[in-house]
Amino acid sequence: MNLKNIIKNLLLCIFSLILILILIEFYLSKNPSYFPNLGWQGNNLIDKQIKECKLKKEPVGIFGDSFVEFYGNSKINLVKMLHNKHKNNFCNFGLSGIDINDYLNRFLYVSKTIKFREAIFFIYEGNDFNDYLFNETILKQEIMILNENFKIERKQGLIKNFVKSTYSLNLFYRFIFKKYFSSKNHIDINLLKDLYEKKKNSFEIYSNFEYVKEKHKNFSKQKLKLLNSDILNRETYFKSLIFPEFYQSLNKPNNKDFKKQKAIVDFYFNFINLFCEKNGINCNFILIPEANFVSEKYKNEFHNFYEFENLTKYRNKSLITEYLIKKYSNFYYPENIFDYNDFLELDGHFNSSGNDKLSNFVIKSLYN
């Protein structure tokens, strides 16, 4: 075969690959529920979001974590569903991986520029009330700080942003490259040792490292492949090692932890409610249920995979959730609405059915 034919065949292969990627991208963008973790984790730049939001008349700010950002601009994104059902000018300021203090700081930052008439905060029962696990020093110096000048966003390198913004390349990257070829940041004893030491400096740790090491040693290698490739959540696995009774503690904390938990949420929500009142903003909070508290079937599958301890029956909503809906009139909890079929497997986020039910609840609670 001469050089000309080699080049011709090579170009044909490249063209075919590009065409396949384009077709995959088009198909998955039209069917985002097939791979819900892909296609939307590119840059999330707050000043760009502010610029887009300012173009809308009487905008309503929506704040939260991945429950708000999940599915990106697709039709099954929570904020898209809200817009389609109520036609309000909703602005999505959700950012994956952040906590209550970050939601509130993003709100304060945005409010310097945009005069909202209304804001809705989506608070996740599953990980937004675990600040009580921090030690007092970290809480006071790093966590419980609200400042309108904090610029909280996700900014990535050019190549990473491009890959994260696509379905096709991200699919190849996670399910093939990271799962079978890349060893960077794979979970091993050294990584766990470093992580444990960092956590120990910030948290009130409930397990020793010998426990962590032994548990990891016996953990399924097939499960680890899914975690190393980010197909499933690595942070949840780390949590099961370092805080093995996390969900039991979150559901029904002991008296000391519950007192600390209440003090933290009161600090956050008294501050932001006062800010909203002073600035004439109608602020409401939607509490998103933890899947492990909603469905016994889901809990068993989730706990068996990640190997959390203490499988006693949970309350259908946590003590802190009950406390908030009793104390604050602008907190809403969708009780007895969701079931096992509304959550992504081993993930905890809503699927399209869950987002549909949650958006219906919001419309009924706030606008009917």
The first and second tokens of residue 41, run together, are: 């984790």
The first and second tokens of residue 160, run together, are: 């990473």
More confident residue, 67 or 72: 67
pTM to 2 decimals? 0.92
Position 22 pLDDT exceeds 70 = yes
**Nearby residues of 20 by Cβ (< 8 Å), 6 or more positions away:** none
The Cβ-side half-sphere exposure at 60, using a 13 Å CA radius, reads: 18
Position 102 pLDDT exceeds 80 = yes
More confident residue, 184 or 67: 67
Q: In the prediction, which pLDDT does 296 show? A: 92
Strand order in the sheet with 90-92: 90-92, 60-63, 118-124, 282-288, 331-332
In the chain, what percentage of residues exceed pLDDT 90? 57
Q: In the prediction, which pLDDT does 355 show? A: 95
DSSP state of 315: P
Tell me if 237 sits within 8 A of 227, measured CB to CB. Answer: yes
CATH number of 46-165+243-367: 3.40.50.1110
Report which of 100, 3, 114 is spatially closest to residue 58, judged by C-alpha positions. 114
Q: What distance in Å separates the CA atoms of residue 31 and residue 337, rounded to the nearest whole number?
A: 25
What value does the mean pLDDT take over residues 89-99? 92
What is the three-class DSSP state of 150? Answer: coil
| Predicted confidence (pLDDT) per residue in 314-364, tens digit | 888 999 999 999 999 999 999 999 999 999 999 999 999 999 999 999 999
Domain boundaries, the chain: 46-165+243-367
Q: What are the helix (H) ranges across the chain?
A: 3-30, 46-53, 66-69, 78-86, 100-111, 136-138, 158-164, 168-172, 189-202, 209-217, 221-228, 234-242, 246-251, 255-278, 291-294, 296-306, 319-327, 352-367
What is the three-class DSSP state of 290? Answer: coil
Q: What distance in Å separates the CA atoms of residue 50 and residue 55, rounded to the nearest whole number?
A: 9
For the chain, the C-alpha Rg in angstroms (whole number) is 22
In the chain, what percentage of residues exceed pLDDT 70? 98
Q: In the prediction, which pLDDT does 64 show? A: 95
Phi, psi (deg, nearest 5) at residue 179: -75, -35
**Nearby residues of 56 by Cβ (< 8 Å), 6 or more positions away:** 89, 91
- Confidence band of 279 (pLDDT split at 50, 70, 90): very high
Burial of 70 (0-12, 13-18, 19+ CB in 10 A): buried
What is the three-class DSSP state of 316? Answer: coil
Q: In the prediction, which pLDDT does 261 show? A: 95
| Predicted confidence (pLDDT) per residue in 42-68, tens digit | 889 999 999 999 988 889 999 999 999
Q: What count of residues does the chain have?
A: 368
More confident residue, 21 or 59: 59
C-alpha torsion 289→292→297→301, nearest 10:
140
Q: What distance in Å separates the CA atoms of residue 118 and residue 86, rounded to the nearest whole number?
A: 14
The label of the residue with tokens 């059902």 reads 85
The label of the residue with tokens 């008439």 reads 117
Sign of the Cα torsion 128, 328, 260, 296 reads: negative
The letter for the amino acid at 122 is F
Tell me if 121 sits within 8 A of 285, measured CB to CB. Answer: yes
The first and second tokens of residue 150, run together, are: 């904090």
Report which of 137, 69, 143 is spatially closest to residue 99, judged by C-alpha positions. 143
Q: What distance in Å separates the CA atoms of residue 22 and residue 28, rounded to the nearest whole number?
A: 10
Q: What distance in Å separates the CA atoms of residue 182 and residue 127, rounded to the nearest whole number?
A: 29
Neighbour tally for 23: CB within 10 Å: 11
